[in-house]
Structure 1
Amino acid sequence: MPTAPITKRTVDAAKPGSGDIFIWDTKVPGFGLKVTPSGGKVYVFQYRMANPGAARAMPARRMNIGKHGAMTPDQARTRAIELAAIVKLGTDPQQEARDKIAAKAEAKRQAEEKAKLESDLVFEKLAERWLKEYEIDHRATSVGQAKVSVRKYLTPKLAGKPMPHITKADLQAALDAIPTKQKATRQQVFAYASILWRWALERGDIADNPVPSMAKPKVPKARDRVLTDDELATVWKAAKVLREPLGAFYRLLILTGQRREEVAGMTWAQVDRATATWVIPADKAKNAVAHIVPLSPAVMEELDRLALDRHVAAKTPDPDAKRWPKAGPVISIKGTAPLSCFSQARKALDAEVLKVRGAAGELEAWRVHDLRRTLATGLQRLGVRFEVTEAVLNHVSGARSGVAGIYQRHDWADEKRSALEAWARHVAAILTPAEAEAGKVVAITSAKQSA
């Protein structure tokens, strides 16, 4: 192997041959110049790693330092001296170079992952993406509850945190922030959080779902509040002086016994004056079962008034209360969107209730859903069969579930109509006790016998 001081003159004078030619420096062991057959000139460093106690020395290893031109001979020699020091310490400089490349790649990967976590997988962005998908095939009520659970209770506590890094403790803290007495709210938020995290896990956005290992919030005690006749009469009287259509909304809740969102979402396309029926589509009913609600004369009067108000507001020529609109919401503040301001409506009703009761003060705490339970209880008091009450409420449970539900296909249409008409008469009677005393309000069973 030729040796010579590696200088610019030596490098310039080196000529290519048929194969690689090496010239080794006389000052720094292992430092050399490689000349390729094409004339390329590369500074190299050759070394052996120590192998104490071994019978045979480790094979020589060679690595490129850099191309001539990009480096001067002195720069290459300095680098060779640094590499020799590394070898003396027992470190393979080629492995060190590979480790640096790997570390740089890992740092880049972590930076990209962090950027993704902070942009695409941050909780509020991922949660909003889930809400958009959830809205596609779920009822408006469920979607509304999901939005409240996420936006009011989860996002304020988890915003800015990448969802893959949200721990069980983080989620528990968000649930703990909900007042203890709000058991139903805690349970609802937990339920939607469970759906959200399972969705993220199935998509591969998170590697672990902490929700299944968490303790479920305690189920709130089942409510059994039923308004007395006097209380129901008070609510009705308050609704009569309430501004429309809020008053009509509460009166229809009392007369039909249907769910709040179903009554609020009633459209003119769903009701038919000729047959006196209201068809709640399956996608609007809570149990996803289409429901036909017979309309009692009292309900027809309410709808006639609302129809007339709609015609007057629209400046329809020759408005006729008996000619119902063909489309649009029935209960609407501006006539374009269904009623949704439930909290404001309830506050207005409670204010009127106080006026009706005067010195007696406000009613014992009650919820809108209690009107539905009050109707169910009232029908039982009027002698209505349990199966008919279930049919009126569109309950797929009890007498309408299991084997009975499979083989019993009677829709109780006539019985439902009789029941709701009897209930409307009962509501009228508690408003005018003199009529009840005159025998104008009778139980359904008695009515059938006298017919």
Structure 2
Amino acid sequence: MSLTDLQIKRLKPPNSGQKTYYDPGLPGFGVRVSQGGSKTFVVVYGKNRQRRSLGRYPELSLSEARILAKRAQADIALEGINAKQPLPLISFDLARERFIADSEARTRERTVDEYRRLLYKHFHFKCQLSELTRDSIASCIERLKSTPSEQQHAFVAIRTMMNWCVKRGFLDISPVPHMAFKSKPRERVLCDRELCILWHRADAFGWPFGQIVQLLILTGQRRGEIVGLRCSWIEDQIIRYPAAFVKNRRPHSVPLGNLAMGIVAKIPGDTDLLFPSRLDRDKPFNGFSKSKAVFDRPLDVEPYTLHDLRRTFSSNMAKLGTPIHVTERILNHVSGSISGVAAVYNRHAYIEEMREAYAMYEKHIQEIIGKHGPDVTSAVR
């Protein structure tokens, strides 16, 4: 019978020295228990019966240790497990730099920027990559539990980096632990009065964040699609997003209503980007956290995210009677009402249908601004 986690937990340290308990299910593989109580997985392999330590339990799980043992016994040098070819010494900082540089050559710019932000903001390991433990990474992730979305994004970033390190031969196996996150379904939809409050606050707040909020309210597009918007993509009152820029890698064309076009026309600047970064004019605006905190400070509204404006847009479109396939075309949803084989054969752009939907929606926005405008000042503390 093979070793189990329960058996390993129950192993008692010897009175002196060390004692190795071998796994009957995998000859040559076992766990060594020291006098001090530490438990280390070991494997004996090769013609010369070489012995190698694989890692300590429970930082290295039993199932992962078995994988390493099988690789070592098979002498798979390409996987970096063979004792004759030790892992290269590389610091976490250097591995992070190389991962970012490699990502820049094969991944969208927005994704690389997010990797860079998350990895430099939340992970500060001053050690060799091979010295990283599951506990140290888990501790960094657990510190973010008060911000569930940021926590999950940070976990994905470090997991992606460590998997890359394994593929490059810098690590035998990723030290990132398996973690599960309980995410509450997003269902926040702002009411008409709240939209009116945000609209007037955006008017007073000004460029760039105020206009970003207003375009998010009016267009239903993703946050990144608005801040990354370029003048050269707008022609004949239609935004034509290139496939490389869009999340689902499909070209996306969406018309602008007259109200939205008026906002775009008044945006100042001398770059192709409508909302360039303050520090780098060639990169889009990215100061969301600080700007939104200042923007929301005087508002008497329930907590919301900028993505809630996209959900609110979709909900209002439904309330106004817009056909679902038109709304989904506006939102550029891949798995919508027109998907699969139907999506392959249906190449109709729905530009005119979207234009009509936007005209109806902008009329609705103007009506609620007029209706709730006189009393929104009471919502500003």
Scaled by the length of structure 1, the TM-score of the pair is 0.60
What is the RMSD computed on CA atoms of the aligned residues? 2.4
**Is structure 2 residue 164 aligned with structure 1 residue 199?**
yes
Instruction: Please list the CA deviations of residues 416-449 of structure 1 after superposition, one character each: whole Å capped at 9, or x if unmatched.
Output: 11111211111101011399xxxxxxxxxxxxxx
Question: Which residue in the other structure is 1:336 paired with?
Answer: 281
Question: Which residue in the other structure is 1:280 paired with?
Answer: 241
Distance in 1, Cα, partners of 2:160 & 2:197: 41
Give the count of matched residue pairs: 288
Question: Which residue in the other structure is 1:370 paired with?
Answer: 308
Distance in 1, Cα, partners of 2:132 & 2:114: 22
**Is structure 2 residue 132 aligned with structure 1 residue 170?**
no
Q: Please state how far the C-alpha of 1:128 moved relative to its aligned partner.
A: 1.5
Match of 1:144 among 103, 106, 113: 113
Amino acid at match of 1:173: S
Q: Work out whether residues 233 and 239 of structure 2, in 8 Å CA contact, stay in contact via their aligned partners in 1.
A: yes
Q: Please state how far the C-alpha of 1:394 moved relative to its aligned partner.
A: 0.8
- Larger relative contact order (Cα-Cα within 8 Å, sequence gap ≥ 6): 2
Distance in 2, Cα, partners of 1:296 & 1:183: 35
Moved more, 159-168 or 220-229: 159-168
**Is structure 2 residue 309 aligned with structure 1 residue 346?**
no
1:349–1:200 CA distance, 2 compared to 1 (3 A) = same
**Is structure 2 residue 183 aligned with structure 1 residue 220?**
yes
Give the SS at the match of 2:302: coil
| Aligned residue runs from structure 1 range 434-445, under 5 A | none
1:367–1:398 CA distance, 2 compared to 1 (3 A) = same
Q: Please state how far the C-alpha of 1:407 moved relative to its aligned partner.
A: 2.8
Query: Radius of gyration: which is bigger?
Result: 1
Instruction: Please list the CA deviations of residues 366-388 of structure 1 after superposition, one character each: whole Å capped at 9, or x if unmatched.
Output: 00111111110000001011111
Distance in 1, Cα, partners of 2:273 & 2:250: 21
1:332–1:185 CA distance, 2 compared to 1 (3 A) = closer
Q: Please state how far the C-alpha of 1:136 moved relative to its aligned partner.
A: 2.3
Distance in 1, Cα, partners of 2:229 & 2:265: 14
Scaled by the length of structure 2, the TM-score of the pair is 0.70
Moved more, 410-419 or 377-386: 410-419
Question: Which residue in the other structure is 2:322 paired with?
Answer: 384
Q: Work out whether residues 246 and 345 of structure 1, in 8 Å CA contact, stay in contact via their aligned partners in 2.
A: yes
| Aligned residue runs from structure 1 range 25-174, under 5 A | 117=89, 121-154=90-123, 156=124, 159-174=125-140
The percentage of aligned residue pairs carrying the same residue is 29
Q: Work out whether residues 278 and 292 of structure 1, in 8 Å CA contact, stay in contact via their aligned partners in 2.
A: yes
1:244–1:177 CA distance, 2 compared to 1 (3 A) = closer
Which ranges of structure 1 fall in alignment gaps of 5 or more residues?
A: 1-109, 315-326, 355-361, 436-451
**Is structure 2 residue 206 aligned with structure 1 residue 237?**
no
Distance in 2, Cα, partners of 1:248 & 1:370: 17
| Aligned residue runs from structure 1 range 255-274, under 5 A | 255-272=218-235
Distance in 2, Cα, partners of 1:302 & 1:145: 28
1:429–1:152 CA distance, 2 compared to 1 (3 A) = same
Q: Per residue, is there more helix in 1 or in 2?
A: 1
Q: Please state how far the C-alpha of 1:333 moved relative to its aligned partner.
A: 6.7
Q: Work out whether residues 277 and 286 of structure 2, in 8 Å CA contact, stay in contact via their aligned partners in 1.
A: no
Instruction: Please list the CA deviations of residues 239-279 of structure 1 after superposition, one character each: whole Å capped at 9, or x if unmatched.
Output: 1111223322211111111111111111111111xx11111
Distance in 2, Cα, partners of 1:145 & 1:217: 21
Distance in 2, Cα, partners of 1:169 & 1:343: 29
Q: Work out whether residues 139 and 283 of structure 1, in 8 Å CA contact, stay in contact via their aligned partners in 2.
A: yes
Question: Which residue in the other structure is 2:340 paired with?
Answer: 402
Distance in 2, Cα, partners of 1:136 & 1:374: 36
Q: Please state how far the C-alpha of 1:235 moved relative to its aligned partner.
A: 0.3
Amino acid at match of 2:232: A
1:434–1:225 CA distance, 2 compared to 1 (3 A) = closer
Match of 1:209 among 168, 174, 177: 174
1:150–1:389 CA distance, 2 compared to 1 (3 A) = same
Give the SS at the match of 1:279: strand
Distance in 2, Cα, partners of 1:128 & 1:365: 36
Instruction: Please list the CA deviations of residues 333-352 of structure 1 after superposition, one character each: whole Å capped at 9, or x if unmatched.
Output: 7693432221232133214x
Amino acid at match of 2:137: L
Distance in 1, Cα, partners of 2:208 & 2:198: 15
Distance in 1, Cα, partners of 2:102 & 2:327: 36
Distance in 2, Cα, partners of 1:255 & 1:190: 33
1:113–1:207 CA distance, 2 compared to 1 (3 A) = closer
